[in-house]
Amino acid sequence: MQTWVIKLGGAVLNTEDAAKALFEALASQTQAQFVIVHGGGSLVDNWLTEAGFASAKHQGLRISPKEQMPYIVGALAGCANKQLMSQAIIAGHKPVGLSLYEAGIISSQKLKALGQVGNCDGGVQSVIPELLKLGRLPLVSSIGFGEDGLWYNVNADEAAAAIAKELNAEIIFMTDVEAVLDANKQPLHQLDTNQINTLIAEGVILGGMEVKVKTSLLAAQHLRRGVYISSWQKPENLIALLAGEHVGTKITP
């Protein structure tokens, strides 16, 4: 059976019932199995602000000082993960909430200047194949653990791509815009390496979208086929993508 990793941007939690509608769409797909990897950047923003912290990003990655990690872990592996579990249960799934460690990923520090921002290194046996055999829906946050036992804040797009690679699965990135947009805010149907490099250099693709297109490109190169960035705002997009239709932006290797 084909396995799909679906990356859900955390803003899905800000729109009532949006995640539930996506989970219902997945419940109708009996010929495939799914792993959800989710973000929650907007929830982290709120929690850090409420705790009185300033938060900054570098090329779309949140600088994550150690003292902010309890809030980041609480928001992502706690609140966001458990809110999605609620929506999945209502839609008829039997979800299991996981961090990256249980999903087979060991993290390590990306860059000293970014604090506890983590890479995905792989290296520990994943429980996901067993959960899928049991008919469970793995819901994975992007909180990682190192060999040192420390917590890491991994960008959720990078986390999703690492899990897809490890499972040899297809991947779809569901975000809060219908597609990657050009300088005139028009949707781009397809993007290759050269176009991506130009649009990033021109500042048209930036922030979280910069990480997403770069990560999608790596995933497309690994899979040797196009990878889609599309919107979670329409559950029918997901069904169409699973059926092989073109919706959103196709990132080609």
Ligand X SMILES: CC(=O)N[C@@H](CCC(=O)OP(=O)(O)O)C(=O)O
Query: Which chain residues interact with ligand ADP by CB under 6 A?
Result: 9-11, 39, 41, 157, 175-177, 180-181, 204-209, 212
Q: Tell me if residue 234 is catalytic.
A: no
Helix, strand, or coil (residue 241): helix
- Of 102 and 157, the one with the shorter C-beta distance to ligand X is 157
Active site residue 10: yes
41 is catalytic: yes
- The phi, psi pair for 107, rounded to 5°, reads -105, 160
For residue 208 the two structure tokens come to 């979280």
From 212, 214, 234, 250, the catalytic residue: 212
Buried-exposed string 34-54: b where 16+ CB fall within 10 A, e elsewhere = bbbbbbbbbbbeebbeeeeee
- For the CB of residue 55, give the shortest distance to ligand ADP in the complex, in Å: 14
Active site annotation includes 157: yes
Q: How far is the CB of 7 from ligand ADP (least distance, A)?
A: 7
When the beta carbons of 74 and 129 are compared against ligand X, the nearer one is: 74
CA distance 159 to 217: 14
Kindly state the smallest distance separating residue 148's Cβ from ligand X, in Å.
18
Q: Is 237 in the site for ligand X (CB under 6 A)?
A: no
- Contact 44/75 with Cβ under 8 angstroms? yes
CB neighbour list of residue 192: distance below 8 Å, 6 or more residues apart: 251, 252, 253
Options 157, 165, 248, 250, the catalytic residue: 157
Nearest to 245 by CA among 228, 223, 221: 228
Q: Considering only 85-93, 100-108, 151-159, 178-186, which stretch makes contact with ligand X by CB under 6 A?
A: 151-159
Q: Rule CB under 6 A: is residue 153 a binding residue for ligand X?
A: yes
Q: Are 249 and 188 in contact (CB under 8 A)?
A: yes
**Smallest separation, CB 175 to ligand ADP (Å):** 3
Phi, psi of 34, deg, nearest 5: -130, 145
Contacts with ligand X, residue ranges (CB under 6 A): 9-10, 39-41, 44, 61-62, 72, 76, 117, 142, 153, 155-156, 208
